Amino acid sequence: MTRKAASRLFEPIILGGVTLPNRIAVSPMCQYSAENGSAGDWHLQHLGSLAVSGAGLIVVEQTAVEPVGRITHACLGLYSDENEAALARLVALCRRWGGARLGIQLAHAGRKGSARLPWRGGGPLGCDDGAWTTVAPSAMPFGDGWPTPDALDEEGLMRIRDAHAEAARRAHRLGFDLVEVLAAHGFLLHSFLSPISNRRTDDYGGGLDGRMRFPLEVAAAVRAVWPRDKALGMRITGSDWIAGGITPEEAGTFARRLSEIGFDYVCVSSGGISPQARPAVALGYQVPFAAAVRKASSIATQAVGMIVDPHQAEAIIAAGDADLVALARAFLDDPRWGWHAADALGADLVCAPQYRRARPDQWPGAEFARQRPKPSPGGSAEPVS
C-alpha cells in the first residue's frame, strides 16, 4: 500500500544501516517474567502482539549482560546459550508475523539489582530470598534500606565491559536490527555518569571526563563488535532531577562523544538515580531534554516519557525536538496505538492481513470504537468530541 506522506511521524528514518518505516518505537518495558534470564511464553505473546502494533521499531526490554546485572531473579538476560536460544524463538515469531524492526536493550542493573518483583513490593531482596552482592562505581547504597554495593575494581570493570560486547555478539547472531545500551534510570552506566552516585577518586570519577570514561569504554567495546550495517544507540539521562546531578548540558556533551565513537542515536530519559529525585511528571516532560541534546550534538535523538497522543507525537517530530518518539505504557494500554495514530494523522499503514478487516475502510464500527466515552453526571456514557 502506498503511504500518503501526510505525517512527519510516519516518514521513514535511517539509523545506521537500518531504515525504520516510521518514527514510532515501542520502548523497552521490563516484564519480570523470565526464568534464569530466558524469555518464555509471556514474552512471545507480549512482543508478538506489539510486532503487529504499527510501530516502526520494537526494542526488547532491559536485558542483563551478566546474572548479577539483573534487577530481579525474573529479569531477561543474554549471557548464556540458553538465553540466546529462548530469544531466537521470540525473534522468529516477530519476524514471521510483524513488520517492525527489532532491537534489544543491553544493560547492567548495578546497585539497583538484587530486588524483589515490583508486584511483590519492590525493594532489595533479603538473604533468604536469594539476594546477591551488587556492584557500583562507589560503595554507596541506592537508598535507605538498600545494601551497600561493592565498588568495582579494574577487573570488574573489564568483565562488565566485555560482557556488554559478548551480549552484542549474541544479539547479532540472533538477527536483531538494533542494539540500545542502557545508561539511564539509575542503573550501572548511569551511576558512573552521575556525580550523585560516582564518588571515585581514580580516572573513572571526578569531573565529567572521568565519569564518562567507563560508559564510553563500554560504548566503544560494543561498537567494535556490532555491525555498521545495523543500528546502535544508547538510552541516556538528560537530568537527574536532583541538585548536583547530571544536567542537559552534560548529556549533550556525552551524546557528542557517543556520536564520535560511531553511535547512531540516543534516547533521552531522566531520573532514577536516587529515591530523593523528584521528576516533574507531565505530558512530554522529558521532551525538552531530548531537544537540548539534539541541538547540542549531531546525533539522532529519540524522545520518551508521557507521550500518549498521536498529535502530541506528531508535534514533537514536526518541531524538530526529536527524530523519533518511544512509547511504553501507551502501547500496553492500546496495543494498536500505531494503527490509531495513522488514522488520526491521515497516514496509511500496512497491517497484518489477518487483522485487515478491522481497519476503518473495511469496518464501519471503527468510527464508533474511536470515540472514547466519558461518564455523564447521570452515569451514562456520551462520546468525547
Dihedral (Cα; 366, 372, 376, 379), 10-degree rounding:
80
Homologous superfamily of the 13-351 domain (CATH):
Aldolase class I (3.20.20.70)
Between CA 338 and CA 351 the distance in angstroms is 10
Q: Which three cell numbers stand for residue 384?
A: 468525547
- Whole-model pTM: value is 0.94
What does the chain come to in residues?
A: 385
Asked if residue 251 lies in contact with residue 237, where contact means CB atoms within 8 angstroms, the answer is yes
Domain boundaries, the chain: 13-351, 354-385
| DSSP codes of every residue in 229-284 | TSEEEEEEES--SSTTS--HHHHHHHHHHHHHHT--EEEEE---S-TT------TT
Asked if residue 185 lies in contact with residue 30, where contact means CB atoms within 8 angstroms, the answer is no
- One digit per residue, the tens of pLDDT, for the chain of length 385 reads 444 457 999 999 999 999 999 999 999 999 999 999 999 999 999 999 999 999 999 999 999 999 999 999 999 999 999 999 999 999 999 999 998 999 999 999 999 999 999 999 999 999 999 999 999 999 999 999 999 999 999 999 999 999 999 999 999 999 999 999 999 999 999 999 999 999 999 999 999 999 999 999 999 999 999 999 999 999 999 999 999 999 999 999 999 999 999 999 999 999 999 999 999 999 999 999 999 999 999 899 999 999 999 999 999 999 999 999 999 999 999 999 999 999 999 998 888 899 999 988 899 998 888 775 544 443 333 333 2
Strand segments (E) across the chain: 13-15, 18-20, 24-26, 57-64, 101-107, 135-136, 150-151, 178-182, 231-237, 265-269, 300-304, 324-327, 373-375, 381-383
